[in-house]
Amino acid sequence: MKRIFSGVQPTGNLHLGNYLGAIRNWVQLQKDYESIFCVVDMHAITVWQDPAELTRTTREVTAAYIAAGIDPEACIIFHQSAVPGHAQLAWVFNCVARMGWLNRMTQFKEKAGKHKENASVGLFAYPDLMAADILLYKATHVPVGEDQKQHLELTRDIAQKFNNDFGREVFPITEPLILGTATRVMSLRDGSKKMSKSETSDFSRINLRDDADLIAQKIRKAKTDPEPLPSEIAGLENRPEAANLVGIFAALSDSTREAVLAEHGGQPFSAFKQSLTDLSVEVLGPMNAEMNRLLANPDEIDAILKRGAERAQAIAGPILDEVYETVGFLRP
Ligand code: AQP
C-alpha cells in the first residue's frame, strides 16, 4: 500500500506558491495514493500566532484543500492538534534525534535568523514533529519541495535509528516524491525571494482569496525590467522577475516555459501581464468562489475536519500503541 502524508501551516494568507508548489499536486496524487492531508496548526505555533487568526486560517487552509479539488471522502483532511498522537510521537522522537542532527537544519537557521537564543524550542524541534506527522501513519511517500528535503532526510534518519535502537522494523523509510510539476513561485516584488505567507508586503503575493481586481492590480504592479519578454529560455537569465512571471504562466496553463515564450516572446510586459491576469483569474476565480462559499459555512468545514480527525486517529492509534509498547511504556 502506498500512503502519502503532507500538510500546510495555517500561518497566514494562502498564496499561489502554496497552490502551485503543493496543493495542486496533491489533487493529482490522491488518485494513486491513500492520502492524508493535514492542516499543521502545531507547526504554526512554533512562531507567534494570534489565536483568533490561527482558528481562521485553519479553516481557510481546509477550504483551500477542498476548493482546489481534494476530495474529503477519498482522502483524510484534518488538523494536526485534533490527533494527540502527533505530540506524543514527537516526544519520543525528541529522545531519538540527536542535537547535532537538528543543529544542521538550515530552515531553523533561516527562520531563527540572528535571534537564535530567542527562538522557541518548538521551532528548533520542528523537524521531530514533522517526522512524527509522517511516521504516525507509516507514510511510504511524502511529496516534498526543495525546501523540505533536508527535513525528510531527518525523518528517515529518525525512523532508521528507532528501528535499530529497538531492534524492530516499526517504521518504513519514507521515500520523497519529487514532483516535476511543482513550481517554485517567487515574490512579485523580488524575484530572488520565494512567495511567502509571512512576508509583510501583501503585494509580494497573490492570495487564493484575492478577487479579480486585486489580482489584476498585483500583477500590474509586479516588478519587471525594461526589456520585452524574450523568445527563448536563455533570454531569462539574470532576469529573476521575468523568469518568475513566465514560470507562473506556464504552471497555470499546464504548459512549459518554452511554449509560453514561443507564444508571448517579444511582447512588452504590459501585454504579457494582461494575459497573465486573465489566466490567473480564470484558474483561481472558481477556487476563490468555492473557498468563500465554504468559509461562509464554518460548520461544514468543522464537520469535515472532525470526521477527518476520527479517520486519522483510527490509523494513528494502533501505530502509537505499537511504538509505546516497543519503547517499554507500561500500558494501562
Ligand atoms: N513560494 C512557493 N513556491 C512553491 N511552493 C511553496 N510552498 C510554500 N511557498 C512556496 C509550499 O507550500 C507548502 C506549504 O508550506 P508551509 O505552509 O508548510 O510553509 P512554508 O513552506 O514556510 O510556506 P510559506 O508560505 O513561506 O509560509 P511562511 O511564510 O509561514 O513560512 C510546502 O510544500 C511548501 O514547499
**158-182 per-position pLDDT tens digit:** 999 999 999 999 999 999 998 766 7
Q: Which CATH superfamily is domain 3-183+298-327 in?
A: HUPs (3.40.50.620)
- Contact at 8 Å (CB) between 45 and 5? no
Q: Is the pLDDT of residue 112 over 90?
A: no
Q: What is the pLDDT of residue 109?
A: 87
Pocket-testing residue among 4, 5, 18, ligand 1, by greatest number of atoms within 8 A of Cβ: 18
Q: Which atom of ligand 1 is nearest to the CA of 10?
A: 17
Nearest Cα residue to atom 2 of ligand 1: 17
Cell numbers 516499526 label which residue? 170
Residue 109 φ then ψ, to 5°: -60, -40
In the chain, pLDDT over 70 holds for what percent of residues?
A: 99
Q: How far is the CA of 169 from the centre of ligand 1 (A)?
A: 32
pTM: 0.94
The Cα diameter of the chain in Å comes to 72
User: What pLDDT, on the 0 to 100 scale, is given for residue 113?
Assistant: 84
Q: Cell match 486560517: residue?
A: 57
| Confidence category of residue 145, pLDDT binned at 50, 70, 90 | confident
- Identify the band that residue 111 occupies on the pLDDT scale cut at 50, 70 and 90: confident
DSSP state letters, 34-82: EEEEEE-HHHHTTS---HHHHHHHHHHHHHHHHHHT--TTTSEEEEGGG
CA 183 – ligand 1 centroid, Å: 11
pLDDT at 239 over 90: yes
- Crossing angle for the helix pair 85-94 and 121-135, nearest 10 degrees? 110
Q: Are 43 and 74 in contact (CB under 8 A)?
A: no
Is a pLDDT exceeding 90 seen at residue 12? no
Region of 12 please: left (phi>0), alpha (psi -120 to 50) or beta. left
- Whole-number pLDDT of residue 18: 94
Average pLDDT, the chain: 95
Cite the residue boundaries of each domain of the chain with CATH code 3.40.50.620.
3-183+298-327
**pLDDT above 90: residue 207:** yes
Q: How do beta strands 34-39 and 141-143 pair?
A: unpaired
pLDDT one-digit tens code per residue, 270-309: 999 999 999 999 999 999 999 999 999 999 999 999 999 9
pLDDT of residue 35: 98
Closest CA to 215 of 274, 269, 290: 274
What mean pLDDT comes out for the span 118-147?
93
CA angle centred on 272, ends 64 and 287, rounded to 5° = 15
Please tell me the distance from the alpha carbon of residue 316 to that of residue 136, in angstroms, as a whole number. 6
| Annotation: binding site for ATP | 9-11, 17-18, 145-147, 185, 194-198
pLDDT for 178 equals 81
Question: What is the mean pLDDT of the segment spanning 3-13?
Answer: 94
Q: Which CATH class is domain 202-293?
A: mainly alpha
pLDDT band at 3 (very low <50, low <70, confident <90, very high): very high
Instruction: Name residue 112's amino acid.
Output: A
Ligand 1 centre to CA of 196 (Å) is: 6
Q: Whose CA is nearest to atom 18 of ligand 1?
A: 8
Structural element, H or E, at residue 172: none
Q: Is the pLDDT of residue 186 over 90?
A: yes
Q: Which atom of ligand 1 is nearest to the CA of 187?
A: 1
Whose alpha carbon is nearest atom 24 of ligand 1? 196
Which residue's alpha carbon is at the smallest distance from atom 26 of ligand 1?
196
Separation of alpha carbons 75 and 206, rounded Å: 27
Q: Which residues are catalytic?
A: 111, 194, 197
Q: Ligand 1 test: best mutation among 196, 198, 199, 245, most atoms within 8 Å of CB?
A: 196
User: Closest by alpha carbon to 198, among 42, 46, 64?
Assistant: 46
Q: Where in the chain is the domain with CATH 1.10.240.10?
A: 202-293
Torsion, CA 24, CA 28, CA 31, CA 36, rounded to 10: -40
Kindly tell me if the per-residue pLDDT of 146 is higher than 90.
no
The Cα 105–Cα 129 span in angstroms is: 14
Mean pLDDT of 147-151: 81
Cβ < 6 A, ligand 1 pocket: 8-9, 11-12, 17-18, 21-22, 145, 147-148, 184-185, 194-198
CA of 311 to the centre of ligand 1 (A): 26
Phi, psi (rounded to 5 degrees) for 227:
-75, 150
Give the residues across from 62 on adjacent strands: none
Question: What DSSP character marks residue 4?
Answer: E
Distance 24 CA to ligand 1 centre (A): 13
Contact 170, 323 (CB under 8 A): yes
